[in-house]
Structure 1
Amino acid sequence: MSTAGLPTIWELVADGAATLPEPFSRAALINWVSARRPDVGVSSIAAHIQFATANATHTGHNPFADREPLLNRVGRGQYVRYREVDGGTSPGAVVRSGRVVLVGSSGATASESGAAGQIFRSDGFARAREHAVHSRLPWFVLSAKHGLLDPADVISPFEIQIDDQPAAYRTAWGEWVVAQLADRLQLDGVTVEVHGGVDFAQPLRQPLARRGAVLDIPLPGTWRDSGPAEERAGPVDAPVRAALERLRNLVGRHGSAS
């Protein structure tokens, strides 16, 4: 409570988010707060909403950076209450790591809004997510619509596929994703492991290289076994794994030359 005995704007934003049916609009939340604190201007309420949103971009100082976020943006002017999801990185945190995992969104989505790390239903996405979580490395979700997402970011279902987009879109998307990643990670010398296919990986190659990062595209399933490769491979597995490794190297060289 404030010294005047009135709830603070932050407290009212939290109360409004807990009260309004999800998803709720920015205008509805502003009206909810304004009705309880008519002495506060709309611009101040809007600023508090921005500061309280986990997946919002903050170009200046955030006076509430030490507090847990209150909101997640799920669409243009649409919000839900903030929910923490295990396995991601803290919103806005700049991480130093030698390797990062990016998982391309694929397959059908849930019918309702949900965390980016949980909303996609394909077996391939689930396996890649499990690998990312168990690796204990920083990991993010790649979205053809949203670019780079923290696993905890709450989004609405969408049908935009990266392989359906023209080359100009994919090029701009790759620059956007790497710029988002650079806000979260020190990229120089980092290996960026991309799951979900070359349609997600290829647009990232040149933007990553300019920042000193290396793109790694694991072939499906090659990361699922644990232990040294020579211990895993049997007499039949060894030639198959060798062929897969040659194919992987060819893909990498072809991408570097393009």
Structure 2
Amino acid sequence: MKQKVGLLATARKKNNKPAPVTEFYQSPLFQKSLEYAKQNYARMYFYNAKDGLLLPNDMMDPYDVSIKTFTHQEREEWAEKVVENFSKVENPSKVIVYLHGGAVYRKHLEPKLEKHNFEYEVPLKGLGIGEQLNWYQKKLG
């Protein structure tokens, strides 16, 4: 049976001093997705516009980079880098990826996951931020 692995978006609201990924991002949505991932996935990874793929203990310094400023080509290159790095730590035949994050990221990540033969699901697809918070709240009890 394949293991469930979370691939989670980070957040715009950040700590103003260096911290590990799991402590650096401050938004309620990020905190809920993190709590959910800890309870439901064998492992979790993160992604941001600046660095691409992140591990939970990676140290983050304050930054201001948004994928919204990237050109289409830069977004495609970013997504390819994220999934290439992800495929170095996870084997597509052994995991199902649960992709959490906004459409602006997923639009580019989903085709790259497919290209690299990853099976994936998007549990919160089509939900606005408030709906996502409610979804996590219900799942977390």
* TM-score of the superposed pair, with normalisation by structure 1: 0.47
Q: Which runs of 5+ in 2 are unaligned?
A: 125-131
- How many residue pairs match? The answer is 132
Q: Answer with 1 or 2: which has the greater Rg.
A: 1
Alpha-carbon offset, residue 160 of structure 1: 0.8
Which residue is 2:128 aligned to?
A: none
Q: Does residue 1:152 correspond to 2:57, yes or no?
A: yes
Deviations 1:19-63 (A, max 9, x none): xxxxxxxxxxxxxxxxxxxxxxxxxxxxxxxxxxxxxxxxxxxxx
> Is 1:106–1:196's contact at 8 Å kept on the other side of the alignment?
no
> Is 1:117–1:141's contact at 8 Å kept on the other side of the alignment?
no
- Taking a change above 3 Å as real, the CA distance of residues 224 and 101 of structure 1, as seen in their structure-2 partners, is farther
- Taking a change above 3 Å as real, the CA distance of residues 97 and 162 of structure 1, as seen in their structure-2 partners, is farther
Alpha-carbon offset, residue 161 of structure 1: 1.5
Which residue is 1:125 aligned to?
A: 30
Q: Structure 1: how far apart are the matches of 2:121 and 2:11?
A: 19
Quick check: which one's strand share is greater? 2
- Taking a change above 3 Å as real, the CA distance of residues 210 and 124 of structure 1, as seen in their structure-2 partners, is same
Letter in 2 for 1:162: I
Which residue is 1:178 aligned to?
A: 83
Percentage of matched positions with identical amino acids: 22
Q: Structure 1: how far apart are the matches of 2:90 and 2:18?
A: 27
Letter in 2 for 1:205: E
Q: Which runs of 5+ in 1 are unaligned?
A: 1-95, 228-258
Aligned counterparts, 1:1-258, within 5 A: 97-188=2-93, 190-219=95-124, 220=132, 221-226=134-139
Deviations 1:93-130 (A, max 9, x none): xxx95321111111221111110111011111111011
Deviations 1:169-225 (A, max 9, x none): 110011100111111101136322122211222211122112221332222243543
Q: Structure 2: how far apart are the matches of 1:99 and 1:209?
A: 16
Which structure would you say has the larger RCO, counting Cα contacts within 8 Å and 6 or more residues apart? 2
Deviations 1:111-160 (A, max 9, x none): 11110111011111111011111114210111111111101000211111
> Is 1:142–1:200's contact at 8 Å kept on the other side of the alignment?
no
- Taking a change above 3 Å as real, the CA distance of residues 217 and 210 of structure 1, as seen in their structure-2 partners, is same
Q: Structure 1: how far apart are the matches of 2:23 and 2:106?
A: 21
Q: Structure 2: how far apart are the matches of 1:108 and 1:159?
A: 10
Q: Structure 1: how far apart are the matches of 2:73 and 2:43?
A: 29
* TM-score of the superposed pair, with normalisation by structure 2: 0.83
Which residue is 2:129 aligned to?
A: none
